[in-house]
Amino acid sequence: MAWFVFILLAVLTIGGALGVVVTRNVVHAALALLVSLIAVAGVYLVLFAEFLALVQVLIYGGAIIIVLMFAIMLTRSSDYPRITDNKQWPLAAVAALAFLGVLVPSFLINKVEGTEAQNASFTGIGESLFTTWAVPFEIASLVLLVALIGAIIIARSDEEEG
């Protein structure tokens, strides 16, 4: 049963990913990305990481995709249909396949004996987050603040300066 679910989710993930990198329409790419990310949330569920699945759906699906949509909308230019691939896409494919060729054998060779997955309690994560990982937590919030301010400054239009 778990296998079947996993295979389904894997197909969705990979399919969505392929959609992002292949399609000619930017909006379709964004939607494919959404499918992929939701499928990844499903994968987290299979791994009994419910909190992460929650976070994934909320943030990626709820915020990042929206922001991407806004960006697509604001940066439309008039050439349509457009060419969405670079001059070097064959080379990119070769490089990517080479990368895969290095990664996969290394995973297969260093095979670790897997065990049964288990439910991770929310309290456990919360405790860990605010004790062991407290400093990174604070820093992460700082990162968010800085990114926010930076984004505002960068994207602000020029007439407002001075």
Partner 1 sequence: MVDLVYFQLLSAALFVIGLYGVMARRSAVLIVMSIELMLNAVNINLIAAASQMDGTGKFANFDGQLIAIFIITVAAAEVGLALAIILRMFRNKSTVNVDEINLMKW
Partner 2 sequence: MEWAWLTPIFSFAAAPAVILFGKYLPGKGAVLSILAIGGGFAVFWFVLDSWLGANTGTSGCFTSENTGLLTCDYERSWFNAGVVGAVGSVSLNWGILIDPLTIAMLGLVTFVALMVQVYSLAYMKGDPRFGWYFAVHSLFAAAMLTLVLADNFLLLYVAWELVGICSYLLIGFWHERPQAREAAKKAFIVTRMGDVGLLIGILLIWRDVGSFSMLDAFEAVRTGAMSEGAATASAILLFLGAMGKSAQVPFHVWLPDAMEGPTPVSALIHAATMVVAGVYLVARTFPLFEAYDADPLMVVSIIGLVTALGAATIALVATDLKRILAYSTISHLGLMMLSLGAFGYTAAIFHMMAHGFSKALLFLGAGSVLHSTESQETGEMGGLRKVMPLTAIVFSIGALSLGGIPIFAGFWSKDEILIAVNDHRNVTFIVLTLVTALLSALYMARAMFLVFWGPLKDQNSHVHDAPPAMALPMALLGVLALGFGLISFNWPGSYGGIGTFVFFGHGESFHFEVWLGVVSIVMAVAAFVGAYKVYVDRSISLEGVRSRNSGFLKIVENKYYFDEVYQWTIDRVVLVFSRFIAYFDRAIVNDILVNGPADVTRKFGIMIRVHVTGHVYSYTLAMALGSVGLGIFVWLRVA
Q: How far is the CB of 159 from partner 1 (least distance, A)?
A: 12
Q: Does 143 bind partner 1 (CB under 8 A)?
A: yes
Which positions from 37 through 76 interact with partner 1, judged by CB under 8 A?
37, 40, 43-44, 46-49, 51-52, 55-56, 59-60, 63-64, 67-68, 70-72, 74-75
Q: How far is the CB of 162 from partner 1 (least distance, A)?
A: 17
Q: Does 102 bind partner 2 (CB under 8 A)?
A: yes
Burial class (CB in 10 A: 0-12, 13-18, 19+), 40: buried
Q: Which residues would be at the binding site for partner 2 (CB under 8 A)?
A: 86, 88, 91-92, 95-96, 98-99, 101-103, 105-106
